[in-house]
Amino acid sequence: MLISKYSISLRKGISVFITAVILTTGVYAQKVKPYEENWESINKHQEAPEWFNDAKFGIYFHWGVYSVPGFSTWYPRNMFIPGMAEYNFHKEKYGDPAKFGYHDLVPLFKAENFNAQEWAQLFKDAGAQFAGPVAEHHDGFAMWDSKLTPWNAKDMGPKKDITGELEKAIRKLDMKFITTFHHERQLQRYVDKPNEEFSNKKNYEKFWESHFPFFKGMPTTSTDPKLRLLYGNIPEKEWLENQWFGKIKEVVDKYNPDILWFDGWLHMIPEAYRLKMAAYYLNHAKKKNQEVVIVRKQRDLPLEMSVDDLEKSRKNRLEAKTWMTDETIGIKDWSYTTNLQIKSLPDILHILIDVVSKNGVLLLNIAPTPSGDIPENQREVLLGVGKWLKTNGEAIYNTRPWYTYGEGPTKEPEGHFENREAFLKVKYSAKDVRYTTKTGVIYATLLGELGAGQEVILKSFAKDQLPKIERVRNVSFIGSDEKIKWTQTEKGLVIQAPAEAIKGLATTIKIQVQAMDEPYNIMKEPNKTAKENEG
């Protein structure tokens, strides 16, 4: 009888508990509403989650059918334009583009040496916290297993799900996954099909917003349903639904990217479709319990819900909002060319340090060969960055900007992509200092090698410069165990470098200060200047 009463009581208790859970879940579900297709709703998205602010460095790559000729990233477009270098090259190597079109290059893109695990490990060793492919460039070739177009890497060319294999390999190494989209210009947007006007280099800029030119007799004007999908020669409504939005949706559904990055020109996509894309991605992420990032370029999405990206350029000031720069390892080209010139290791490393000091994130592009190899000179740069980060990464990862990004004689130009040539000329030295901070620590990274025993004055620590009193507790050099002599004066923090020089492309000084969350009574412990310490 006692057991019976206990059983009844237990059943009642379980029933009450389940009811409570259902009611609680229902209330929660009502509070967490899905994103609606309007900016007021979508702008509530936290555009830069903490993991993204912590990550600082990612890698992607321009790699596709356009890598096969080894000539330029703009080969798919320019090979059809008489007078362009790509047209002349194509005619000499492959024949008349009217007879041997871009689609005929697809079987030559074999990626026979591609190994997703090896690539992912290289990205990890380089210090990247996220990585992934250009999912589709302007050329209409999808680098994933697509059901929306036959022109995809699983069914043609490599006959591998490049995006899928990379997604698994990258996540296995605890990196976030990025996919980038550049296909906003794939649609042919010509009024009355002016092929006679658009017939030479002189008119190159006139039809800039359509990737493939419309020339009678060329494959770009073919009525073949299959070729029309590749060359974007289809009705706009069909293209918007199935090719622009449809492909993004397909990648989101299949691979759950943590970052969606867009190469600009979204202003050409009707607002309704931009809203549709954003709402779909954000709601998908919510179901997966993902904190995701949407990156825009060229002011074509609101900054309330997206991160701003600068191409081949960067800020010359500290920004309150997190931003990104996409920089390429190539001096000029984004994809593999047979004579690709690349930036030096110091240049890439210093760009990363500079970007992070200004509240930015670096997305670095590399250029694999059509066979799927990453050239040795590019590997050396990546591994060089990784080697420095292995020792000095605490000054980069999980940091936030200080009250000033830095000091020194070298300053970046104003402007963005239009000043890319000026940015190429920027060279730093040990006189240029970049700051980052964590609770209780300020990092001062000198963009060069410091001589043995050399004196450094960090002027940003001058009493009249600091926005609040910072009491320095200790100074050390990352990579050295030597006790450091330092003095906090009215003019700044005076530091004597170790007697044994620290070899490297950038030197990091770790400055421990009175942490903001620690009690510090200024009346009892006034800030003492000109106090010399022996470590």
**What is the number of structural domains in the chain?**
3
Kindly state whether residue 53 falls inside one of the protein's structural domains.
yes
The reply to whether 16 and 87 lie within a common domain is: no
Q: List Cβ<8 Å contacts ≥24 apart for 499-505.
A: 499/452, 499/453, 500/452, 501/449, 501/450, 501/451, 501/452, 502/449, 502/450, 502/477, 503/449, 504/388, 504/391, 504/392, 504/449, 504/479, 505/345, 505/346, 505/349, 505/350, 505/384, 505/388, 505/448, 505/449
Q: Can you tell me which residue has the tokens 């470098």? A: 497
The reply to whether 227 and 268 lie within a common domain is: yes
The reply to whether 359 and 470 lie within a common domain is: no
Kindly state whether residue 255 falls inside one of the protein's structural domains.
yes
For residue range 132-166, list pLDDT tens digits in order: 999 999 999 999 999 999 999 999 999 999 999 99
Kindly state whether residue 120 falls inside one of the protein's structural domains.
yes
Q: What are phi and psi of 181, to 5 degrees?
A: -125, 130
Domain boundary (354, 376, 398) is at: 376
Question: What is the pLDDT at residue 1?
Answer: 36
CA angle 303, 308, 313 (to 5 degrees): 155
The reply to whether 19 and 154 lie within a common domain is: no
Kindly state whether residue 398 falls inside one of the protein's structural domains.
no
Question: What is the pLDDT at residue 209?
Answer: 80
The reply to whether 251 and 127 lie within a common domain is: yes
Could you write out the three-class secondary structure of 31-93?
HCCCCCCCHHHHCCCCCCCHHHHHHCEEEEECCCHHHCCCCCCCHHHHCCCCCCHHHHHHHHH
How far separated are the first and last CA of the chain, in Å rounded? 77
Tally of CB atoms within 10 A around 383: 15
The reply to whether 66 and 208 lie within a common domain is: yes
CATH number of the domain encompassing residue 104:
3.20.20.80
Q: Regarding beta strands 259-262 and 507-513, do their DSSP bridges make them parallel or antiparallel, or are they unpaired?
A: unpaired
The reply to whether 28 and 48 lie within a common domain is: no
Structure tokens at 202: 């002189």
Alpha-carbon gap, residue 93 to 76, rounded angstroms: 15
Structure tokens at 50: 């903490």
Range of the domain at 28: 2-32
The reply to whether 156 and 248 lie within a common domain is: yes
Closest by alpha carbon to 299, among 287, 314, 309, 289? 309
The reply to whether 23 and 46 lie within a common domain is: no
Question: What is the pLDDT at residue 519?
Answer: 39
Question: What is the pLDDT at residue 3?
Answer: 38
Question: What is the pLDDT at residue 515?
Answer: 55
CATH number of the domain encompassing residue 412:
2.60.40.1180
Question: What is the pLDDT at residue 419?
Answer: 87
Kindly state whether residue 395 falls inside one of the protein's structural domains.
no
Kindly state whether residue 116 falls inside one of the protein's structural domains.
yes
Query: Which parts of the chain sit beneath pLDDT 70?
Result: 1-32, 191-207, 515-535
Helix (H) or strand (E) holding 21: helix 2-31
Structure tokens at 232: 């974007």
Structure tokens at 162: 């490049």
Burial class (CB in 10 A: 0-12, 13-18, 19+), 4: exposed
Alpha-carbon gap, residue 151 to 133, rounded angstroms: 17
Structure tokens at 124: 């990890």
Question: What is the pLDDT at residue 200?
Answer: 55
The reply to whether 455 and 506 lie within a common domain is: yes
